Structure 1
Amino acid sequence: MRKLLFQFSLLFLFVSCATSKKAKFDDYVFKTKSEKQTYINSYDKALKLWDIPYSEENIKTTFGTAHITFAGPKNGKNLILLHGMDASSTMWYPNIKALAKNHRIYAIDFIMEPGKSTLTSKPLSSDEIVLFYNEIFDHYKLKKFDLVGASRGGWIATLLATQKGNSVDKIVLLSPAQTLKFIDKPRKTSSALLLKLFPSEKKFSKTLKTFSTHPEKISPIYNRQFYLANKYAKSNSSMLKMTPFSNDELKSIKNPVLVLIGDQDVINSEESLERAKKYLINSKTETIKDAGHFLTIDQSKIVNDAMIDFLE
């Protein structure tokens, strides 16, 4: 495993160096201004897939501008959505109607990835990631809120929940990456790295088939945005700093936690659920049949029902 991680590190370093030479403007995520605008145009089209009333807002943080998309009743319980790697808040289109029915949604674009948040500092450490989100929570005076995190967003949700004095209530982890264990099938997931190195439609299609059992369910509009995120954004080596949480860190989380993984997931396995059961003392776990890492799309209704039943 360490050897594979070292190889991944070299790949990310190679890409980061290569893309930095091509950079033509001061942006820590995108390579050129025109490519960023093309991506943003695609983002706006994908966000319309939510198909419910929503609003957007940018707020200033210590590390740059945070972009938040709101939906749902203003008097509903606050629910923070943390998306997967390179997926942005638009990824919630198969789930947002169910989640926003009784919750006030705050979907936050992670500042170090493609989206509408804009990083103006150096890449963030784990402590700084916590500060970034806490500044958002403080800005909106959010207390006793729920968290839903997918993939990398699940890792961030877990990180936030381990902090003393946090305001988190219930937590849903959707195939959290590098959270309960290291990547289950690293060789299969290498297709995502190759896509970053040499982006192409063919490699993108292969990656989708690796992470999803039903890639045909993915909206072409969202597909386009997700592809552009991989094609135009600089590589983000911060994923290499994401390591599974220790037994003590997991045991420190007393909150109710729901952990869902797909039965054909390449990131997690039953070992992940066993560790959750053992160390997340107030957890409920479930394996979703005929679903991969993209379980929110592969089996959206089943996942939506499970989340709503748990949260409400």
Structure 2
Amino acid sequence: MIYKTEAGEREILRRYEQTLASWPVPAERRRVPTREGDTFVLVSGPAEAPPLLLLHGSGSNATMWMGDITAWARHFRVHAVDMIGEPGLSAPSRPPLDSTAYALWLDDVLDHLELERTAIAGASLGGWLALDYATRRPGRVESLALLCPGGIGRQKVGFLFKALLYKPFGRWGMLRSIKAVAGVDPRTMPEIAEYLAVMFTHFLPRRDRLPVFGDEALRKLTMPVLVIIGGRDAMFDSHDTARRVNRAVPHATVTLLPDVAHSIVGQTQPILDFLRSSR
């Protein structure tokens, strides 16, 4: 069970459908059968364009990429995946993170979509998933663009205490928690804050710590790699992430945004430039 109540699940999916209706470019809805259950994929962009796979963060779904899709779909055949076990239209399955299960699941997704090799962009948990796949299947990954990825720098625990601190204070506390943990200010990003408030009112996020990739695994990232991280990230130690990537993946491009928290926006063009230059 990944939702607190059946009514909460219905509310999240209702809002998701509303948002999908305003997807800014033409898109095909695909349901991909996998060993973990059906996986929902939103496909946009020219059929003949090079493929790009998108993996969103925890507590999110394909709508995370609405601000990016218009630019990216001009140059790529974009496959925005609803990750399993998250509040989207894919199966609620949550196999152990410290296993081959997620790589096998993505094998099924790529095989069904007939993608022998693809660029991947991932954020937070989606960044961890992209790394897990790229270290296990480097031959299937054309390039890798990561926003605040988990699994490299030290995972902080202080954000959990902040979330618990605000929990008794209802909606006000939820919005304060979102600002403290994700760095999303309701005054400057009201739509994103409202979306997250609905999600975490009804959704049960994963509680297990993300497995950390060793240097040996990171050295398998021979494809072009871009890592964008925020200096004020409350969930991951971004400076530790930068140090480890620079040491183990010296050809990678690491961009540290000193005044940015865990939620990173406004990187549509830098990521597009990187993906196009990596072809």
TM-score scaled by structure 1?
0.80
Q: Does structure 1 retain, via aligned residues, the 8 Å contact 2:138–2:223?
A: no
1:129 to 102, 106, 123: 102
Shift of 1:189: 4.8
Equivalence for 2:183: 212
Equivalence for 1:190: 161
Deviations 1:160-189 (A, max 9, x none): 001146411100010102x21222x43135
Moved more, 146-155 or 42-51: 42-51
Distance 2:62 2:103 in 1: 18
Shift of 1:229: 2.2
Q: Does structure 2 retain, via aligned residues, the 8 Å contact 1:47–1:93?
A: no
Asked whether 1:293 is paired with 2:262, we answer yes
Q: Which runs of 5+ in 1 are unaligned?
A: 1-27
Q: Which runs of 5+ in 2 are unaligned?
A: none
Distance 2:128 2:31 in 1: 24
Shift of 1:56: 1.6
Distance 2:63 2:190 in 1: 11
Shift in alpha-carbon separation, 1:193–1:173, aligned structure 2, 3 A: farther
Shift in alpha-carbon separation, 1:141–1:277, aligned structure 2, 3 A: same
Asked whether 1:265 is paired with 2:233, we answer yes
Shift in alpha-carbon separation, 1:165–1:205, aligned structure 2, 3 A: closer
Equivalence for 1:163: 136
Moved more, 223-232 or 159-168: 223-232
Identity %: 26
SS at structure 1 position matched to 2:77: strand
Shift of 1:243: 2.1
Distance 1:166 1:219 in 2: 41
Equivalence for 2:58: 85
Pick the structure with more helix per residue.
1
Shift in alpha-carbon separation, 1:30–1:199, aligned structure 2, 3 A: farther
Shift of 1:109: 1.0
Distance 1:246 1:190 in 2: 27
Q: Does structure 1 retain, via aligned residues, the 8 Å contact 2:184–2:193?
A: no
Q: Does structure 2 retain, via aligned residues, the 8 Å contact 1:88–1:109?
A: yes
Asked whether 1:200 is paired with 2:173, we answer no
Amino acid at match of 1:159: D
Shift of 1:280: 1.4
Shift of 1:103: 0.7
Asked whether 1:226 is paired with 2:208, we answer no
Distance 2:223 2:165 in 1: 38
Equivalence for 1:3: none
Distance 2:85 2:230 in 1: 26
Distance 1:72 1:164 in 2: 25
Distance 1:54 1:60 in 2: 19
- The number of residues matched between the two structures is 273
Shift in alpha-carbon separation, 1:64–1:304, aligned structure 2, 3 A: same
Distance 2:29 2:237 in 1: 33
Distance 1:53 1:30 in 2: 30
Distance 1:292 1:285 in 2: 16
Moved more, 35-44 or 123-132: 123-132
Asked whether 1:281 is paired with 2:258, we answer no
Amino acid at match of 1:115: G
Q: Does structure 2 retain, via aligned residues, the 8 Å contact 1:204–1:227?
A: yes
Shift of 1:31: 3.6
Shift in alpha-carbon separation, 1:229–1:131, aligned structure 2, 3 A: same
TM-score scaled by structure 2?
0.89
Shift of 1:277: 0.9
Shift in alpha-carbon separation, 1:129–1:272, aligned structure 2, 3 A: same
Distance 2:61 2:38 in 1: 15
Q: Does structure 2 retain, via aligned residues, the 8 Å contact 1:149–1:173?
A: yes
